[in-house]
Amino acid sequence: MNAISRRRFISYGIASAILAGIGGVSAYLLLRRPEQASDAGRLPPGQYQVQDLEVLHVDGVPNLSLDTWTFEVNGEVENPFKLDWNQFKQLPKTVSVSEFDCVTGWTRLDNRWEGIRFGEIAKLAHPTVKAKYATIECYGTPAYTTSLPLDVLMRDDVLFAYNLDGKPLEPEHGGPLRLVVPGKYAYKSAKWVRQVRFTGTQELGFWESRGYSNTADPWTNDRYG
């Protein structure tokens, strides 16, 4: 090795050592989570972080059997339909990681939902030109409802979810199937979904008709209607 190439060899060596150092530091920064301090900036205004979803609903957990469970789509659509559990599970599935913000103040970050996008359901149903919203109706007493504009429901991260963090959704969290609408307070994320009805005007859901915001955006602290 002559003097020049040795010098070049040494400076390459130093450069790669520096790059490896930077790589190591950024890997450390990335892997260091979860940590309260670094997660604080990820919480919407007025929210605090919880490690597990709380269990919150207005009445008892409905006792649902997959043998008799059905999922119905109707209203302002050209192709109303009804699926049983096996048919529903054959739709193209997807995974989406998102935060979950209850209007009472708690937020769980990084929920890994698996299910069927609302968009897949709309594709099968063919909404009419009049359709602008959908009302989600649930199993249970009272039959909980919520409604959202189709432009929100068509987002890629809006799912009818049956798995959470790799496990079948527990009945108290809406199993077998719940809606998940990231970026809206969780009263929009209806548990025990039974029916999707497309509508031309927006209906008021259970909490929305009791004073909670119909737009429900956690990032603007949009809690009350």
Ligand X SMILES: Nc1nc2c(c(=O)[nH]1)N[C@H]1C(S)=C(S)[C@@H](COP(=O)(O)O)O[C@H]1N2
List residues binding Mo ion (CB under 5 A).
Answer: 102-103, 186-187
Instruction: Decide: is 56 part of the binding site for ligand X (CB under 6 A).
Output: yes
Give the burial class of 175: count Cβ atoms within 10 A of its Cβ; 0-12 exposed, 13-18 middle, 19 or more buried.
buried
Q: Is the peptide bond before 176 cis (omega within 30 degrees of 0)?
A: yes
Q: For residue 152, what are its two tokens? A: 């929100």
Of 75, 174, 175, 182, the one binding ligand X (CB under 6 A) is 174
* Residue 85 or 185 with smaller CB distance to ligand X: 185
Of 18, 55, 66, 124, the one binding ligand X (CB under 6 A) is 55
Instruction: Decide: is 189 part of the binding site for ligand X (CB under 6 A).
Output: yes
* Residue 102 or 121 with smaller CB distance to ligand X: 102
What is the secondary structure of 169-180 as a DSSP string? PPGGGTTT-EEE
Q: From residue 72 to residue 101, what is the string marking binding to ligand X with x (rule CB under 6 A)? A: ------------------------------
C-beta of residue 49 within 8 angstroms of C-beta of residue 34: no
Q: Which of residues 99-138 bind ligand X (CB under 6 A)?
A: 102, 138
**Least distance in Å: CB of 144 to Mo ion?**
11
3-state secondary structure at position 186: helix
Which among 120, 127, 118, 188 has a CA at the least distance from the CA of 158? 118
Dihedral of CA 63/53/118/112: which sign? Answer: negative
The span of 7-15, 18-26, 51-59, 152-160 binding ligand X (CB under 6 A) equals: 51-59
Report the interface residues with ligand X, using CB under 6 A: 53-58, 102, 138, 140, 144, 173-174, 186-187, 189-192
